[in-house]
Structure 1
Amino acid sequence: MNYSTIKKTAVAASLVAALGFAEHAQAQTPTVFGGRSQYRTWSIGVQGGITSPNVLVGGQNGFGQKVGYFQNKVGEYYGLTIRKQFSHLFGLELEGNRGRIKTYNHDVSGPAVENSYGARSAETSVNWAGSLNGVFQLGTIDFLRRENAVNFYAKVGLGVMAHNPVQFANNDFTGAEVYNNKGNWGDEVFGDRENVGDRDHRLTAFVPVGVGVKFKLSEVVALNLGYTMNFTDDNLLYGPVRFDGKQKFSNVYGGLEFTLGSRDKENLTFANPVATLYDELKDPSLRNEVEALKQRVSTLEGTVDQLSKDSDGDGVSDKFDKCPNTPAGTPVDGSGCPIKFPEQVAQNNATQGEYYAPIQFEFDSSVLKTESYATLDKLAKEIRDNNSSVNLDGYASAEGTEAYNMNLSNDRANAVKQYLVNAGVSASSVTATGYGEENPIASNATEEGRVQNRRVEIKVK
């Protein structure tokens, strides 16, 4: 494999990689800085410039440029571009051009061609040249509050061109033609003209490699300046020559690029993520939102601190603690009040006689239940027989206001007292006291617990 083939293979592989990158970016990155839909991504351009048979990387063209035979002569070159931008880093461009490439020989002797007639100048007409290019954005610089910008780019592609070289016997391209194969391309023969084709132009593959810079003139128009080296797969770009090898040429161009779409959207070509991030950080409205958010967070933290404050350390915050200052280690319910277990109630109510279970009441009621009569009759008999006294402690569950529940607990204790008095117990032997929501024996967070808290406890002395 020769050097030219290796070079073409490497360039073609680069182009395939670029196309693969575009497809991968489109498949794997559905959004670009908020989504491509918020940008303008299509553009068209017109351009014109000049050509030269030389390229910056040096080397030798078919006329022996390296040894000093043929010299540069500029030719015109112009065309159109259509580009789709996939991200702020990469786009695909379809480019079409036409024009002429010229060169001439200062030396009177001139190089001899294979058929032994001399040529002192050559002009290659490019009827058309089309290529698909991958365009890589190298960087964008913004000026004047983002109203103007400069964008640097590089491109590489693969294309086909139709051309016809003509060689002349003099230096001004007006003398006798010593070589012109127009109308005979197809079966190229280097000596006689037998068995030739019938095409006016020769088709040649080429690889454009270039760099450029764009100046943003407005939201729609940009000035585009660039330089492209074109490496062809042809040793007849300038006709039959003395130095056989693949030919090349370059073109310098300038033009205007027009972005399509709504002006309300930003041009993705000139999108600068770093500058956008800087603008957002400096945006007064964003800063105000951040400060407001900080204030809301501070307020929320204060509220959380207030809700979580637990002065007596019983695990219930002060805001919901109905029994503040509970001794450390005391088991409490959901309202922060001590839990009284059945054995504790039994101890509190222990007497010489029997233990009496609390008298239960319905919700928002101080009316005795009929099932309580038997217990109260037994209690009344014990007090009369033993000349005892009794304390009746009334309680209520946590529904309603504390003042209301205090009155309700008093009514419940007095309802039990009245029953005992009616059963022959001296009123002076019975003390009835209401304690409202205090000292719940179960959680007021459930209905089952609230039922147990609607009670009158009996303490016989």
Structure 2
Amino acid sequence: MKKHLTAITALVLLNLSVFAQDTSHSITVVPPLTGASGFRTWSIGINGGVLAPVAGIGGSNDYTKWMATLGYGAYLKYQATHHLGFQLDYVGGTLEGNNSKALSDGTMRTGPYASFKTSLHYAGTLSAVYSFTNINWLNRRNIVIPWVSLGAGLAGYDPTMTDASGTTIHSKPSGDIHELTIPVGAGLKFNVAPGINIDLGYKMYFMDADNLDGTERFPLHKDRFSYGFAGLEFSLGSRSKPQLLVDNPVYDLHRTLRAENEELRQRIMAETQAAEDANRAKLAQVAALQEEVDKMKADADGDGVSDYFDKCPNTKPGVKVDGSGCPLDTTPRVIQQHFEVTEEDRRIVREAIANLEFDFAKASIRPSSFPSLDRVADILVRKNFSLKLAGHTDNVGSADRNMQLSKDRAESVKSYLVSRGANPSRIEATGYGMTQPIASNKTAAGRQKNRRVEFTLY
């Protein structure tokens, strides 16, 4: 029992802290007469309180003294309308009593047992819950909401009786007793934050049997128990939606009408202001247009270009001018054509790289490479491109020797291209030695790939 109550308390405190930190969350206003789809209608609740084998209606059961014990519960609720909801409840705990209290005539009740203790494993019920004050003409919001409930369900319990000698007897050793129960309840809900209510209530559970305390009394006296509790109810769904249970449709209607009136007033004011601004703008446009026309008519230097467009005023008579009134520039100009690197240009460069071969350990280009290099030179001459040559070697030999060899091979390619008419200032030749391999130097094929000159055309 203590474990259950500890878990309930921890969950309550955690949810209170979460909702306390989210007080700034805005709630959407639901227009009246639009149904329940805009509200949060589902909720869950947890509670804890006092169980007793006695009810406000009908009194106690078959023992003269009832004991108050700790109980716990939870529920799932669907709010169908502002007033009516349906709630699926669970209640658990223990019930205890004894015959230590004298009867009204001063005598003690005699019987086979001195006390009992019933483990209430569950009381599962479905109830209709009617809430009051949801439609409130006096207050804007509903904070305190009374409710009553009536339902039916099934209870499972295990009574244990103790006789005067201290011997304990199970009423049903083979397992729980399952009986019909009718719960009747009333209480108050307090809306303390958007989507969270404090729930205080008292419920009486009327059993359809006289075995809740393991003892039957004649004539037949059906047993009952009660549960007084306090707990929290949390609405499910989007937190931007209001909770249907605490919503006041009268206030929502008033707020909607007030918002619509304010929106209409603001729209009329905005339209009026916009019309005035438009009239002022049109008058300003007319004045500006007249000023522009006057400027366009003036031509002080007589060059045929109005002063408004004349960027070179006071032009001497007879001088030919362009459309902006400035003297025409008759100086001959050399027009340089600009070319973009095409995919065909890149293909020719790739082919030159693939066909480029040198004599072994030398910078001398083999004649088989000349045709493809000639095509690269032709591109450089025709399109005035720039070219970067980067020489690389494998790791055979010393680093210094390889660095020098890579530079010499790059320079050899540059010299060849210059000999075919390429601009030397647009060709950069650099050697990197064996510092930038593109394949493993452990194989002949890899070393072959690393002995290369890369062309970058731009």
TM-score (norm 2): 0.46
